[in-house]
């Protein structure tokens, strides 16, 4: 990976032209983008970040971000409130509020346009569900997507598969882990909100899907890597071009401190909490040892960084100028 360019679409009058330039620099350091600032016409800033991985073009797209209360209701469920508060304070984040980011990725291999996950979709707008607008911002249309790769079937990853009742990417074929598809498909479609959404958004596309095993080649330079635990068949994807490597880590870690930093801390949305913890240790241990960057779906935008080992866990290192050299 040799280049990263971060963009904020349209104009931000609240910050002014000079501040927009500063915001672009801040984004390249992994700090929070200006998402909700409105100009006088009411247009929102919607950021994306463009990277270069060998001959591949990689773009992270902020489908949206939301804030929430009581983060320990989601992260660190197996530690005491005092420990949770101490870790939060040590990392300069509040213990009673958190922010969730949702970041699909587009990879242009030169021969195919590959989309990893589809965001929340139309039901999440305007705070989320902005993927389609972002595709236009980077010069593409939904019709140009050749392949949609689904890391797992939680709603914030499959919500954008359909738009107004029709396939959102009408010319695409699809890929998903076989275990993931088989487990969810065996459930009663009326069992809960997730299975209902799968029946609506995923099942109609099954005829155009490839079902992947661990190690399967999805497209040129893209390989499936099993990372089970968050869901029964959660997949990550190793990207390689001209000797440069990157991992689409999806939801292996759902927070850069509470999940990645402390892999044994339980996460409410991990369906098999013990397996998810072991997967975090294994996967991020490999990334730390090999110094491979990764894209985390819920990492602070632009969601690209490195990891290093620290005590019994890891430290998240947001990508900065080392990717511009």
Residue 24 forms part of a structural domain: no
Residue 59 forms part of a structural domain: yes
Q: How far apart are alpha carbons 148 and 32 in whole angstroms?
A: 27
Place of tokens 């870690």: 253
Residue 269 forms part of a structural domain: yes
Residue 29 forms part of a structural domain: no
Q: Which of 255, 261, 244, 260 is nearest to 323 (CA)?
A: 244
DSSP string across 238-274: EEEETTEEEEEEETSSSSTTTTTTSTTS-BTT-SSHH
Radius of gyration, CA atoms only, the chain: 19
Q: Which of 65, 66, 75 is nearest to 95 (CA)?
A: 75
Q: What share of the chain is helix, strand, coil (3-state, %, to 5)?
A: 30, 30, 40
At residue 70, the pLDDT reads 98
Are the C-beta atoms of 251 and 234 separated by less than 8 Å? yes
Q: Which domain holds residue 86?
A: 52-323
At residue 320, the pLDDT reads 86
Identify the DSSP state of 43: P
pTM of the model: 0.88
At residue 27, the pLDDT reads 37
Residue 161 forms part of a structural domain: yes
Domain total in the chain = 1
At residue 321, the pLDDT reads 73
Q: How far apart are alpha carbons 37 and 130 in whole angstroms?
A: 15
At residue 36, the pLDDT reads 35
Residue 1 forms part of a structural domain: no
Q: How far apart are alpha carbons 29 and 54 in whole angstroms?
A: 21
Q: Which of 63, 162, 143 is nearest to 103 (CA)?
A: 63
Q: What is the pLDDT of residues 16-35, one digit of tens each?
A: 333 333 233 333 333 333 33
With a CB cutoff of 8 Å and minimum separation 6, the contacts of 266 are 75, 76, 77, 78, 273, 277
At residue 11, the pLDDT reads 31
Torsion of Cα atoms, 30 then 35 then 37 then 39, to 10°: 110
Residue 44 forms part of a structural domain: no
Question: What CATH number is given to the structural domain containing 175?
Answer: 3.60.15.10
Residue 253 forms part of a structural domain: yes
Q: What is the pLDDT of residues 151-171, one digit of tens each?
A: 999 999 999 999 999 999 999
| pLDDT of the chain, 325 residues: tens digit per residue | 434 454 544 433 322 333 333 233 333 333 333 333 333 334 445 589 999 999 999 999 999 999 999 999 999 999 999 999 999 999 999 999 999 999 999 999 999 999 999 999 999 999 999 999 999 999 999 999 999 999 999 999 999 999 999 999 999 999 999 999 999 999 999 999 999 999 999 999 999 999 999 999 999 999 999 999 999 999 999 999 999 999 999 999 999 999 999 999 999 999 999 999 999 999 999 999 999 999 999 999 999 999 999 999 999 999 987 766 5
């Amino acid at each position: 990976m040799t280049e990263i360019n971060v963009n904020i679409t349209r104009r931000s009058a609240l910050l002014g032209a000079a501040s927009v330039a500063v915001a672009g620099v801040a984004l390249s350091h992994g700090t929070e983008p200006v998402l909700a600032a409105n100009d006088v016409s009411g247009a929102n800033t919607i950021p994306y970040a463009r990277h270069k991985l060998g001959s591949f073009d990689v773009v992270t797209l902020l489908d949206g971000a939301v804030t929430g209360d009581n983060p320990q209701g989601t992260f660190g469920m197996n530690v005491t409130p005092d420990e949770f508060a101490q870790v939060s304070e040590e990392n300069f984040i509040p213990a009673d509020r958190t922010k969730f980011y949702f970041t699909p990725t587009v990879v242009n291999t030169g021969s195919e346009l590959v989309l990893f996950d589809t965001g929340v979709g139309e039901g999440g707008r305007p705070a989320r569900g902005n993927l389609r607008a972002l595709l236009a911002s980077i010069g593409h249309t939904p019709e140009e997507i050749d392949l949609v790769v689904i890391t797992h079937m939680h709603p914030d990853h499959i919500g954008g598969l359909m738009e107004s009742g029709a396939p959102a990417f009408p010319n695409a074929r699809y890929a998903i882990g076989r275990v993931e598809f088989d487990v969810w498909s065996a459930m009663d479609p009326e069992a809960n909100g997730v299975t209902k959404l799968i029946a609506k958004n995923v099942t109609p596309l099954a005829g155009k899907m490839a079902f992947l095993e661990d190690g399967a080649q999805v497209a040129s330079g893209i390989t499936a890597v099993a990372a089970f635990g968050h869901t029964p068949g959660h997949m990550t994807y190793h990207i390689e071009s001209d000797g440069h490597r990157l991992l689409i880590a999806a939801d292996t870690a759902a927070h850069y401190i509470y999940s990645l930093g402390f892999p044994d801390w339980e996460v409410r949305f991990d369906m098999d909490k013990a397996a998810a913890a072991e997967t975090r240790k294994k996967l991020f241990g490999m990334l730390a040892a090999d110094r491979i960057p990764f894209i985390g779906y819920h990492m602070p935008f632009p969601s690209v960084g490195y990891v290093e080992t620290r005590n019994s866990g890891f430290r998240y290192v947001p990508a900065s100028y080392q990717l511009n050299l």
